[in-house]
Amino acid sequence: MPTGRQSPIRVLHVDDDEGFLSLTRRTLTREFDHVTVQSRTDPTEALTELGDVDCVVSDYRMPAMDGLELFEAVRERDPGLPFVLFTGQGSEDVASEALSAGVTDYVRKGASVDQFELLVNRVEQAVAAAERERELRQERERFAALFDNIPEPTVAYELRDGGEPYVTDVNPAFERVFGYPASEIRGEALDSFIVPPDRADEAASLNDQVARGDPLDEEVTRLTADGERQFLLRDVPNECESGTRYGYAIYTDITEQRERERALEASRARLERQNERLEAFAGVVSHDLRNPLSVATSHADLLAETGEVERIEHVRDALARMDELVQDLLALAQHGTAVQQLGLHDVRSLAVQAWSTVETPNAELSVEANGAIRADEGRVQQLLENLFRNAVEHGSTDGSPLTVRIGFCGDDCFFVADDGRGIPPEDRDEVFDHGVSTRPDGSGFGLAIVESIADAHDWTVEVGEGEDGGARFEIRGVDLVRER
């Protein structure tokens, strides 16, 4: 069967000449076993049988309705049904008029086997073309339904102007997420609508990749109706026979997934810091507290045996040391958790209050910060107390005068600096570790508490050298408001 069909081609033959109808039916069914023929002399009656045939073959000159009028009536009922004009009224004008009207084909009527073979050949071609067109139409309809129902925003595009994607269509999910109806964005350069200005170079690089024919599977940031969001962009470019490159870009929103991952990473980091604090607690309890406890116990036993009253001072000193260590542990435990209540607090007031709680012989405070920061008041005061105490205790070991300064540095930073002896560069990476102190009687928790409080506010702390050669601590990531 030349058309590749599994069933015979069903032909509806319409002609007012009953004799020719009979001849055509006998010849076609005898010579071509893959063709069946229904014959009708009445065009109006023939119109009722269109649903059971694959092709209409019609004479041109008929008294009730000519071939072109019948063709128009057939097209109204079934636009895709092939229609072949088979007529003895042969002239170039008739053929031209028929083909201009949209008739599938035109064959001169004849009674020879060769002419019938030509007719069958034209019918086969017409039916095969109609079947291909129908399959393509069904495929397009299926694809259109799939395209419209993809839950992710999807863009159909073609590459122009050296590789820039221009929109040929978008699905409803794209319209909903990005806020542009298909009628507005169709025919426009895609990147000008959805690429943030600071991502233009990145988008151009991806366009070059697509222009080379390489598939995409990249994380990108795009502008949506709700602002910037993160997407996984997947794209497999194609090329049609004309050489035009086209494709479909699918955007899967991964913003919430990435936020969950970042939150999980933050929780993991927080847990690691908590574990570090637990290890530090264990070290203090097992070692640092044991020493003054042993001293207190020893002197208490000797006091009981000898009655030497002066040993009471040794007991008191040991107990005071234990109390200091316990207070540092409590502060570290408290400030290791995230802050809950934030407010705007004047930096000068915070600094003066913190300075008043620190023993500051031969030291003075210089407040250069005019403005406020958003923080937990009690905990940021504790941060300043520890920075001030660190400056006073370590900045000057010979009792010389010391100046401690606090001020702003940039749009999100404040600093605490002194003009003392500073911290050697090789020691700066360790100063925030638990238990690290340059003083024999130091707990090593002061700067660890500073870092813990900063971390609870989502701030960072850096240590370096000040303008006067002393230590300078910079706290960054702060929400601050300067006074004008």
Closest CA to 478 of 408, 383, 429, 389: 408
pLDDT given at position 393: 82
Of the candidate ranges 71-80, 296-305, 450-459, the one whose mean pLDDT is the lowest = 296-305
Out of 3.40.50.620, 3.20.20.70, 3.40.50.2300, 3.90.1150.10, select the CATH number for domain 9-146: 3.40.50.2300
For the domain made up of 339-484, the CATH class stated in words is alpha beta
pLDDT tens per residue across span 50-109 = 988 999 999 988 888 999 999 999 999 999 999 999 987 666 777 788 888 889 998 988
Contact status, residue 232 vs residue 252, Cβ threshold 8 Å = yes
The confidence score (pLDDT) of residue 441 equals: 46
Q: Both tokens of residue 158? A: 């073609």
Amino acid type, 112:
S
Give, to the nearest 10 degrees, the angle between helix 377-395 and helix 347-356. Answer: 60
User: Does residue 440 have a pLDDT over 50?
Assistant: no
Instruction: For residue range 224-268, list pLDDT tens digits in order.
Output: 999 999 999 999 888 776 778 888 999 999 999 999 998 899 888
261 DSSP assignment: H
pLDDT at 84: 94
Strand residues in 200-285 grouped as ranges (E): 216-224, 227-235, 238-239, 245-253
Residue 176: per-residue pLDDT: 94
- Give yes or no for a contact between 195 and 223, defined as CB atoms under 8 angstroms apart: yes
* Choices 1.10.260.40, 1.20.140.10, 1.20.1250.20, 3.30.450.20: CATH for 150-253: 3.30.450.20
Options 3.30.70, 1.10.10, 1.10.287, 3.40.630; which CATH number does 260-335 get?
1.10.287
Cα gap 188→310, rounded to integer Å: 92
pLDDT at 336: 52
Question: How far, in Å, CA of 83 to CA of 324, rounded?
Answer: 103
Position with higher pLDDT, 294 vs 178: 178
**What are the structure tokens assigned to 386, written together?**
């520890």
Position 280 confidence tier, pLDDT thresholds 50, 70, 90: low
CA distance 220 to 427: 41
Residues of the chain above pLDDT 90, percent: 45
Can you tell me the mean pLDDT for 370-378? 90
Distances (CA, A) of 47 to 8, 21, 140, 277, 471: 21, 17, 29, 91, 100
**Interval 165-206: pLDDT, tens:** 999 999 999 999 999 999 999 999 999 999 999 999 999 999
Non-local CB neighbours of 307 within 8 Å, separated by 6+ positions: none
Give the per-residue pLDDT at 462: 92
C-alpha to C-alpha distance for 367 and 387, rounded to whole angstroms: 14
β pairing state of 35-40 and 471-476: unpaired
The domain limits of the chain are: 9-146, 150-253, 260-335, 339-484
Q: Which long-range contacts (CB under 8 A, 24 or more apart) does 350-354 make?
A: 350/377, 350/380, 350/381, 350/384, 351/384, 351/406, 353/381, 354/381, 354/382, 354/384, 354/385, 354/388
Q: Which residues contact 288 (CB under 8 A, 6 or more apart)?
A: 325, 435, 443
Q: Residue range 379-399: average pLDDT?
A: 81
Rounded distance between C-alpha atoms, residue 194 and residue 186, angstroms: 13
pLDDT on residue 285: 58
Task: Tell me the C-alpha to C-alpha distance, in Å, between residue 423 and each of 21, 427, 428, 444.
Answer: 112, 7, 6, 15
Looking at residue 475, its pLDDT comes to 95
Q: At residue 85, what is the residue type?
A: L
